[in-house]
């Protein structure tokens, strides 16, 4: 069986490894637009902080691919697919026939329209090369502006504060990390970040970046100016869909796939940041890896009946900033939910979210790691936490009691 994988991120490489384990005889070729071997993207802030060299975040050496008989074509993206003869063409002229194809083309940083964003010193850190370049630039400036307050953005910002830079965060909303916090946890998180060297500007947006050839500062829509030598764009990602569009695949926020992660074209699958399953599009590393496991198994399935169904897990986000513990998992949007399980102290804020049936559907936990494991496990089950309502509203709750709760069908 001939398998072609477009993309060498976590979804593509996980799929390749899974397919190889299931079928030692399959011919597996991976096209990668990047010249670097697969690396751990969540560790890019460590590179920016100077805690590890770029080479240390590479997941596997080239010998690993050779040992597993995986052909990887670095610096060559898959650019065209001909369905008539099932042929894939790479950007450097490679042509391969395939039986199964996986689109794992990932995503790229979303750049909002901002005058001056072409100045030297403006970054959107998505790749290892981006992180390496930012590491060197950060050594010659004193301040940075961060547009957006998402997970990776704040972690990049902390990497810069750890090197002595003043980091200004522009968040147009009413709280930092809006997708992972509630109003109360957002306010407490802001206090923690301020103590870590951040200056948070809520309800503020960048109007333009100014300077000669190199960035000198950022002007806000309010008219205020912030002098800075670096500008980090962290306003989200957008899936790479050029190949999917050329194939006329159904697209919503990303490539629409079924429960097997198969697209509307038989034998062509999609996984990772470019795919949208029934549970939506997340852009999370953990979700991409899980989809890679399912897609890899299905790429080498001998018949349709033996394919695996993608079992989505409640999404979980962890903020990696020293001294700040924050986990948000499942559905933390209170709209249409019965919300009532809160615990709060000066340093801790926890909120459990239950639906109209009384089942746990999400939680946010700030300032402590206590309960993260037990609550995470409970999300995957039909647990009714409201039976321990009064106890759960205490910061010092004994989370081992959750295991005694009934698991209803």
Is the dihedral angle over the CA atoms 263, 266, 271, 274 positive or is it negative?
negative
Q: Is the pLDDT of residue 407 over 70?
A: no
CA–CA distance, 303 with 290 (Å, rounded to integer)? 21
pLDDT of residue 338: 65
Using 50, 70 and 90 to split pLDDT, how confident is the model at 401?
A: confident
pLDDT of residue 277: 94
Using 50, 70 and 90 to split pLDDT, how confident is the model at 208?
A: very high
Query: pLDDT tens digits for 295-306?
Result: 999 999 999 889
Q: Is the pLDDT of residue 157 over 80?
A: yes
Q: Which residue has the tokens 């939506």?
A: 280
Q: Is the pLDDT of residue 332 over 80?
A: no
Q: Is the pLDDT of residue 65 over 90?
A: yes
Residue 177, both tokens: 């990390």
Mean pLDDT of 197-213: 95
Q: Is the pLDDT of residue 337 over 70?
A: no
- What is the overall mean pLDDT for the chain? 92
73 and 90 Cβ atoms separated by less than 8 Å: yes
pTM of the model: 0.92
Q: Is the pLDDT of residue 77 over 60?
A: yes
Please report the domains of the chain, with CATH numbers, ordered by start residue.
2-108+238-306 (3.50.50.60), 122-233 (3.50.50.60), 331-404 (no CATH)
Burial 32-62 (b: 16+ CB within 10 A, else e): bbbebbbbebbbbbbbbbeeeebeebbebee
Query: pLDDT tens digits for 22-32?
Result: 999 999 999 99
Q: Which of 88, 91, 57, 86 has its CA nearest to residue 74? A: 91
Q: Is the pLDDT of residue 408 over 70?
A: no
Q: Is the pLDDT of residue 409 over 60?
A: no
């Amino acid at each position: 069986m001939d398998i072609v994988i477009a993309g060498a991120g976590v979804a593509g490489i996980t799929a390749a490894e899974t397919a190889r384990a299931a079928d030692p005889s399959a011919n597996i070729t991976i096209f990668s637009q990047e010249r670097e071997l697969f690396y751990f993207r969540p560790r890019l802030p460590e590179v920016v902080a100077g805690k590890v060299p770029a080479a240390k975040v590479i997941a596997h050496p080239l010998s690993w691919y050779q040992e597993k008989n995986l052909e990887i074509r670095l610096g060559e993206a898959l650019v065209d697919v001909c369905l008539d003869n099932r042929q894939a063409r790479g950007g450097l002229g490679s042509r391969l026939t395939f039986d199964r194809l996986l689109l794992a083309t990932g995503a790229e940083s979303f750049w909002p329209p901002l005058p001056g964003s072409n100045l030297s010193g403006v970054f959107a850190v998505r790749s290892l090369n981006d992180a390496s370049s930012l590491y060197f630039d950060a050594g010659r400036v004193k301040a940075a502006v961060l547009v957006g307050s998402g997970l990776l953005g704040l972690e990049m910002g902390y990497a810069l504060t750890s090197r002595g830079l003043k980091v200004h965060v522009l968040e147009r909303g009413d709280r930092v990390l809006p997708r992972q916090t509630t109003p109360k946890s957002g306010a407490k998180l802001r206090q923690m970040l301020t103590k870590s060297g951040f200056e948070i500007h809520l309800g503020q947006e960048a109007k333009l970046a100014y300077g000669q050839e190199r960035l000198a500062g950022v002007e806000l829509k309010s008219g205020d100016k912030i002098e800075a030598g670096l500008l980090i764009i962290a306003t989200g990602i957008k899936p790479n869909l050029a190949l999917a569009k050329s194939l006329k695949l159904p697209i919503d926020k990303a490539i629409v796939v079924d429960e097997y992660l198969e697209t509307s074209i038989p034998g062509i699958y999609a996984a990772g940041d470019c795919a949208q399953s029934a549970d939506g599009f997340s852009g999370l590393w953990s979700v991409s890896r899980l989809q890679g496991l399912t897609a890899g198994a299905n790429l080498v399935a001998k018949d349709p009946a033996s394919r695996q169904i993608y079992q989505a897990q409640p999404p979980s986000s962890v903020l990696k900033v020293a001294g700040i513990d924050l986990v948000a998992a499942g559905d933390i949007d209170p709209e249409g939910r019965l919300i009532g399980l809160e615990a709060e102290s000066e340093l801790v804020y926890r909120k459990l979210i239950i639906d109209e049936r009384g089942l746990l559907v999400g939680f946010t936990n700030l300032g402590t790691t206590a309960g993260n494991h037990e609550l995470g496990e409970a999300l995957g089950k039909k647990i009714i936490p409201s039976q321990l309502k009064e106890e759960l509203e205490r910061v010092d709750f004994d989370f081992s009691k959750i295991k005694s709760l009934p698991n209803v069908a």
